[in-house]
Structure 1
Amino acid sequence: MSKLDKTPAAIGPLVAAMGPAGFRVADRIVPGGLILTPDDARDWPARTIDALTEADFAILLAMDPLPEFVLLGTGASLRRPAPALAAALEARGLHLEPMDSRAAARTWGLLRSEGRAIAAALLPID
């Protein structure tokens, strides 16, 4: 049985801190939203759960293979995305797991340390 590689490089980018100014990933501050994939952390221009559209998930929909699911950080508190948006993404193979952004960032680190092929889309907490 092989041991799981839990080095930071194997886990991928981790959120070190978050606040009204945005997210800190490694030595970089990301203002606004944040997209995390196993290999990358990107600025995400999305600002609120109510304004999300399918186009906001284009980066994730372009992944090959698609992630197992996407942790959707909905800001300071848990909010559900519009049912039509969730259904449209699900029809394209992208499943959302909504939770507040703090919980999503913690869950991201935990699941990535287990080697799960997931992604995260985190809205700011302001």
Structure 2
Amino acid sequence: MVELRKDVDFEGPVVTGLTPDGFKVGTQRFDQGLLLSPFQVLAWNAPQRENLSLVGILKPLDLDPGPEFLLFGSGPVMLQPPAAFRREAESLNMGIEVMDSRAAARVWGVLRAEERWIVGAFMPLGV
């Protein structure tokens, strides 16, 4: 397991490590995908890439007001989400930042330390 930053000076979940298949948030291990908001972390049984739905990501997080943007971790390598997923985000006036899930896990902490109002959806690393 790779350890990430442990000392945080903001509230909310932060990814503290990477496992062979997933993530560690605090002391909790997630060997699947991950959904994050400024207030919560949820295990995510991520669908196949072609079945991604922004509503399927946002609804369980129940964030009001809506986030500035989605930080999307695409798994072990950076792959853009399908065009339909991007159109769904555009229809909600929401941006998407895409990177591999390892990079997204690191960037999450930086953006939250800046108190950005974002959500994260990280595909599992063992995909």
TM-score, normalised by the number of residues in structure 2: 0.82
1:1-126 maps to which residues of 2 (within 5 A)? 8=8, 10-59=10-59, 62-126=62-126
Q: Once the two structures are superposed, what CA deviation does each residue of 1:98-121 show, in whole Å capped at 9, x if it has no partner?
A: 110111111110011111111110
Residues 49 and 81, structure 1, Cα contact 8 Å, conserved in 2? yes
Sequence identity percentage: 37
Residues 48 and 74, structure 1, Cα contact 8 Å, conserved in 2? no
Equivalent in the alignment of 1:4: none
Aligned mates of 1:17, 1:9 — CA distance in 2: 17
Q: Once the two structures are superposed, what CA deviation does each residue of 1:2-22 show, in whole Å capped at 9, x if it has no partner?
A: xxxxx8473421111123332
Residues 71 and 121, structure 2, Cα contact 8 Å, conserved in 1? yes
Q: Tell me the amino acid that sits aligned with residue 27 of structure 1.
A: T
Alignment: residue pair count: 120
**Structure 2 gap ranges (5+):** 1-6
Q: Tell me the amino acid that sits aligned with residue 112 of structure 2.
A: R
1:64 is displaced (CA, Å) by 1.1
1:23 is displaced (CA, Å) by 1.1
| Greater CA drift, 47-56 or 69-78 | 47-56
TM-score, normalised by the number of residues in structure 1: 0.83
1:43 is displaced (CA, Å) by 0.7
| Greater CA drift, 10-19 or 67-76 | 10-19
Aligned mates of 1:60, 1:94 — CA distance in 2: 17
| Greater CA drift, 64-73 or 40-49 | 40-49
